[in-house]
Amino acid sequence: MQKSIMRQVFEPTLGDVLAARNAIAGTAARTPLAPSPHMTRVAGRDFLLKLEIVQPIGAFKIRGAANAVFNLAPDVGGVTCCSTGNHGRGVAFAAAARGIRAVVCMSSLVPQAKVDGIRALGGEVRIIGKSQDDALAESRRLCAEEGLVEISPFDDPLVIAGQGTIGLEILEERPDIATILVPLSGGGLAAGVALAAKAINPAVRVVGVSMDRGAAMKASIDAGHPVAIEEVASLADSLGGGIGLDNRLTFRLCRDLLDGIVLVSEEEIYEAMQTLYYEDRLVAEGASVVGIAAVQAGKLTDLDDGPVATIITGRNVDMSAFTRVVSGGDVVLGDLTVKGKAHGA
Ligand SMILES: *Cc1c(COP(=O)(O)O)cnc(C)c1O
């Protein structure tokens, strides 16, 4: 195996987040931190939305992906990853900017809109199996057989540092933020944001929010070690998948840095998608609205008086599913049907 194929694992620090900011400037946008008047009324304190939906790929994952791809050795000819969609988009975008090949492995649970998005950026797509684990196995096989370099969607120090730039931006703009609500799956976003935000202000609370069907990080932290979960369809499809039984960084970082993990139901995600659309006029994925869902459902009763920010992580939603949600239609998710409901009803 070539030397450049082996990527180093190290413990990311605030210094790595600051370096990531320089590396990705000009590729990832510095995004707005917009007030939500409606959610400010609901929460009873300033409530701000960090709008990662305006990134060039429509999601925050461009930050970590670009940081990882731009730091590769010059002789690397191609990269591969497993993805629930947005990381693949980020990797394809960054690889195209560098003029190298990107092969994205995804399970059949990934919405077609995300597959199309990656192909449109010049990425090669392989649909493998029914879980992120199947996709990861294919990605590992490609590393071994085709000499591609794997870029983990979350368990990578450069990816974590890239996502951490969101924490920097939030606290630079609003040093008074007391709580950050972070959509949580593999934990690259939560680990990066928590490590950056707490390095700047150790009093900031960082709370992860996952869907209650298949919350891998929560189950792992509860068990004391990474555990496998059953992957099921969710409105928050970007939050699906395990954290890897051989997790190197995000399990420990999330366990040590997060102040809590809250779970929300599919009904609560459904209502929060409607809220963001009708009250703030924003189109976003289910994964983006879990922070709003948690507050709206009264699941964050111990918020202190300070301002709250949540990260609106991505907008790459399947539009037929989105229009069904905002028009109050039923949504079928495998064996679960979310009963249709009009906004505010
Ligand atoms: C990947 C993703 C997340 C979760 O990020 P992790 O680093 O895996 O915890 C949240 N929202 C969206 C839209 C994503 O694509």
| 194 within domain boundaries | yes
pLDDT greater at residue 344 or residue 90: 90
Which H or E run includes 131?
Answer: none
| 9 within domain boundaries | no
User: What's the domain range around 105?
Assistant: 61-150
| 169 within domain boundaries | yes
CATH number for 278: 3.40.50.1100
Residues 80 and 99 in one domain: yes
Residues 307 and 202 in one domain: yes
Compute, in angstroms, the gap from residue 14 CA to the centroid of ligand 1: 20
Residues 209 and 100 in one domain: no
pLDDT value at residue 109: 83
Residues 170 and 256 in one domain: yes
pLDDT value at residue 97: 95
Compute, in angstroms, the gap from residue 194 CA to the centroid of ligand 1: 14
Contacts of 286 (CB under 8 A, 6+ apart): 211, 234, 235, 236, 237, 238, 239, 269, 270, 273, 317
Statement: residue 334 has pLDDT above 50: yes
Residues 290 and 312 in one domain: yes
Residues near ligand 1 with C-beta < 6 Å? 59, 61, 86, 153-154, 183-190, 238-239, 285, 287-288, 313-314
Atom of ligand 1 nearest to the CA of 208: 9
Compute, in angstroms, the gap from residue 40 CA to the centroid of ligand 1: 24
Whose C-alpha lies nearest to ligand 1, atom 2?
Answer: 238
Given a contact cutoff of 8 angstroms between Cβ atoms, the answer to whether 183 and 50 are in contact is: no
pLDDT value at residue 152: 95
Residues 139 and 192 in one domain: no
Look at residues 94, 121, 150 and tell me which one is the last residue of a structural domain.
Answer: 150
pLDDT value at residue 289: 98
Look at residues 119, 150, 181 and tell me which one is the last residue of a structural domain.
Answer: 150
Query: What does the pLDDT look like over 215-239, one tens digit per residue?
Result: 999 999 999 999 999 888 999 999 9
Task: List the beta bridge partners of residue 206.
Answer: 180
Q: Of 86, 158, 159, 163, which is best to mutate to test ligand 1, by the most ligand atoms within 8 angstroms of its C-beta?
A: 86
pLDDT value at residue 5: 52
Side-chain-side CA neighbours of residue 139 (13 Å): 26
| 222 within domain boundaries | yes
Q: Of 110, 239, 318, which is best to mutate to test ligand 1, by the most ligand atoms within 8 angstroms of its C-beta?
A: 239
Atom of ligand 1 nearest to the CA of 241: 8
pLDDT value at residue 133: 85
pLDDT value at residue 4: 44
Statement: residue 2 has pLDDT above 90: no
Compute, in angstroms, the gap from residue 313 CA to the centroid of ligand 1: 7
Six token digits for residue 81: 């990853």
Residues 38 and 95 in one domain: no
| 38 within domain boundaries | yes
Compute, in angstroms, the gap from residue 189 CA to the centroid of ligand 1: 7
Query: What does the pLDDT look like over 155-165, one tens digit per residue?
Result: 999 999 999 99
Look at residues 150, 185, 203 and tell me which one is the last residue of a structural domain.
Answer: 150
Query: What does the pLDDT look like over 89-112, one tens digit per residue?
Result: 999 999 999 999 999 999 998 888
Residues 314 and 192 in one domain: yes
Q: How confident is the model at residue 1 (pLDDT cuts 50, 70, 90)?
A: very low
Residues 263 and 309 in one domain: yes
Atom of ligand 1 nearest to the CA of 86: 15
Compute, in angstroms, the gap from residue 239 CA to the centroid of ligand 1: 6
- With CA atoms as reference, report the closest residue to 103 among 136, 74, 59: 136
Residues 202 and 325 in one domain: yes
User: How many independent structural domains does the chain possess?
Assistant: 2
Q: How confident is the model at residue 312 (pLDDT cuts 50, 70, 90)?
A: very high
| 3 within domain boundaries | no
Q: Checking DSSP bridges between strand 149-150 and strand 78-82, what pairing results, if any?
A: parallel
| 344 within domain boundaries | no
Compute, in angstroms, the gap from residue 43 CA to the centroid of ligand 1: 24
Q: How confident is the model at residue 7 (pLDDT cuts 50, 70, 90)?
A: confident
Residues 125 and 191 in one domain: no
pLDDT value at residue 95: 97
Query: What does the pLDDT look like over 57-88, one tens digit per residue?
Result: 999 999 999 999 999 999 999 999 999 889 99
Query: What does the pLDDT look like over 175-210, one tens digit per residue?
Result: 999 999 999 999 999 999 999 999 999 999 999 999
Given a contact cutoff of 8 angstroms between Cβ atoms, the answer to whether 137 and 244 are in contact is: no
Q: Of 313, 317, 322, which is best to mutate to test ligand 1, by the most ligand atoms within 8 angstroms of its C-beta?
A: 313
| 280 within domain boundaries | yes
Compute, in angstroms, the gap from residue 2 CA to the centroid of ligand 1: 31
Compute, in angstroms, the gap from residue 227 CA to the centroid of ligand 1: 19
Q: Of 53, 54, 61, 155, which is best to mutate to test ligand 1, by the most ligand atoms within 8 angstroms of its C-beta?
A: 61
Query: What does the pLDDT look like over 118-154, one tens digit per residue?
Result: 999 999 999 999 888 889 899 999 988 998 999 999 9
Residues 165 and 258 in one domain: yes
pLDDT greater at residue 48 or residue 240: 48
Statement: residue 37 has pLDDT above 70: yes
Query: What does the pLDDT look like over 264-307, one tens digit per residue?
Result: 999 999 999 999 999 999 999 999 999 999 999 999 977 777 99
Grouping H, G, I as helix, E, B as strand and the rest as coil, residue 47 is strand
